[in-house]
A and B are shown apart, each in its own frame.
Chain A
Amino acid sequence: MAAIKLKNIVKSFGDTAVVKGIDLSIEDGEFVVLVGPSGCGKSTTLRMIAGLEQATSGDIVIGERVVNDIEPQHRNIAMVFQNYALYPHKSVRENIIFALRRLKVDNADIERRLAEVSEMLQLEELLDRKPADLSGGQRQRVAMGRAIIREADLFLFDEPLSNLDSKLRSHMRTEIGKIHNKFGRTSVYVTHDQVEAMTLADKVVVLHDGYIAQAGTPMEVYLNPANVFVAQFIGSPSMNIIEGTLFNDYLLVDNYRLPRKQLSNVALQTVIDQQGIPVKVGIRPDFFNDSRLFPETDNTFNFTGLQIDLIEPMGFDKEVLFNLAGEAVKARLDLRSELQRDQQIDLVVELSRVLLFDSETDQRL
């Protein structure tokens, strides 16, 4: 078991800086998900923790040890690779127990642990096969087994589910969650899929362009994103960002005036002069409600007379597109709202869910 500290980690390949200064502490037993678009530095960060890449500067501490100059084989970590990286010449059994052979674990113990792991991952039937004879999902399970059997200090996952079809992916996601609950090992998980991040993480770390854009619990990054990037990256469909103007008493969006006093999730409390200040207004599609089903209160605002441009039915949900201040804005309503295209609709939003961002810096106000 181990806590991890990354202290001002920088990684450059030649002239290209990929990781530009990351500070992060991961507690013992915590499940941390590094999430971000491709090229944000998440995989590189994971590989530096593993020791597969050397940081250009900064310190990595695992447990009590600074591991900057410690080879991967001496870090006592287990890792699941995106392409599984199974040994093609070894059987499933040999693949799984390969690390234990190196650790000189005695045979009885190996057999016991193998039996336990192969039962948990339903690998009993496959133990004598070679990786080439397995399906993608089976290979993924073998890769998981190889990591679990180690009982290592630290689990690293490098986009482990990205090569699976969507059904299998969601199944394995659940399995990974269960395994973490069972063993409670410190885990670092890299993905570009915000659903995996939200469902698995104790702590989500959103990376953007080599920096940490925000780190927090899944609900923190969902409800209180620190900037426009995080707001749009986390959550699906992504948050609507609309141009608006903030005046001393109200927020002007299109020609709707939202009372400033009730925007309880906006930190900015200074007096604003008469011209007002331009802002970006963030409202999640999930927070729009059909006014026919949702009574207006003191803390809500009713966007009346919105013209529906498009309806995308998803079964229980439907996504409704309309125009607000020149932006195509999305609302997610459920099946109770019966709607048609070109119809007008009134949508209610709780004012505490309306977020404001600086129009220049994109940071939360």
Chain B
Amino acid sequence: MTPLERAEARFGWKLVAPTIAILGLLILYPLMYNVYLSFFDVQLNGSKTFVGIENYIKLLSNSDYYSAIATTSLYLLGTVVGTTLLGLAMALLLRDPFMGRGLVNAAIMLPYVAPVISVVFGWQFLFDPISGVVNYLFVDLLGLWSERSNLIGDPDSALWVVVLFDIWKHAPIAYLLILSKLVSISRDQYEAAAIDGYGPIGRFFHVTLPELYFVLATVVLLRLIWNLNRFEDVYLLAPNVETLPIFTYYQAFTGVIDQGLAAATSVIQLGVLSIFIWFYIKKIMKW
């Protein structure tokens, strides 16, 4: 290192020091404390008894835990595939400029920027078994269903409502990320592929898709990471859909409160999340 680089490095450390301190206090400390808690039987009055890995054993023998994993897997699969495909489709459609593209863009972004709680109420109203428009549409108007049903009330169908809600709310961010890459692909490449004899489908697979590889991988992994932890959307819309964060919440704060067990759940989830993040940084971003 030259003296100049050393000085730059020292200055850099000074700049990031406050951030490191705050992150350490607000993230690293609770994280470690959570790992610590997972080895204790925690009482509400604050007294703790060391139990070793008993919480983990209890958790892994709990069938509800496995059902939460299954629910989370379906939720992840549905939302990640759905948002990515919908985002890609919208980006491809809206790639070329046309009259009113700005308005369409704004309309697409709306669900993403709207507050969760307000749109959740809207969705609950849509799916209401008595006065909701969905039941009206499928039962009264189209006659596809024989009777009105409470789609959010039934945990099995509620999962798919929650998936649909997430796709609707988060496809815009996928759309935005994909579109920004899409418009930067040079026209030359498409022209060369056309000259080489490839029609629109060949050009999509040989020019567009390879160019989008990085951004698609980013969208998929970011969606996985975000949605593994997604709490508020699911809990507010359909609290009966027990994905892992909600399962953990019920363990920690409702019924027979077991914060040690909840902590153990979180630790396992953190492990899975770390693998996703490692994969994203190493394999996709290639740091």
A residues contacting B by CB (< 8 A) are: 50-52, 71-74, 77-79, 81, 83, 85-89, 98-99, 102-103, 146, 150
Contacts and interface: CB of A to CB of B under 8 A. Distances in A.
B202 A72 contact: no
B189 interface: yes
B197 A87 contact: no
Interface residues of B, number: 18
Given A86-B192, A87-B189, A87-B210, 18 more contacts: A50-B191, A50-B195, A52-B191, A72-B194, A73-B199, A74-B197, A79-B191, A85-B186, A85-B191, A88-B211, A89-B210, A89-B211, A89-B213, A98-B193, A98-B196, A98-B206, A102-B197, A102-B202
Nearest to A99: B196
Task: Specify the main secondary structure of chain B where it touches its partner.
Answer: helix
Nearest to B185: A88
Contact of B195 (A79, A83, A89): A79
Contacts of B280: none
Given A79-B192, A81-B188, A87-B189, A73 B197 contact: yes
B195 A87 contact: no
Contact of A72 (B188, B195, B206, B210): B195
A132 B214 CA distance: 17
Nearest to A89: B210
A77 B206 contact: no
B276 interface: no
A87 B199 contact: no
B197 A85 contact: no
B207 A73 contact: no
B198 interface: yes
Which of B202, B206, B210, B213 has the largest count of A CB atoms less than 10 A from its CB? Answer: B206
Interface in B170-223: 186, 188-189, 191-199, 202, 206-207, 210-211, 213
Contacts of B199: 71, 73
A98 B202 CA distance: 11
A119 B209 CA distance: 32
A50 B196 CA distance: 11
B194 A99 contact: no
Nearest to B188: A85
Given A85-B189, A87-B189, A78 B195 contact: yes
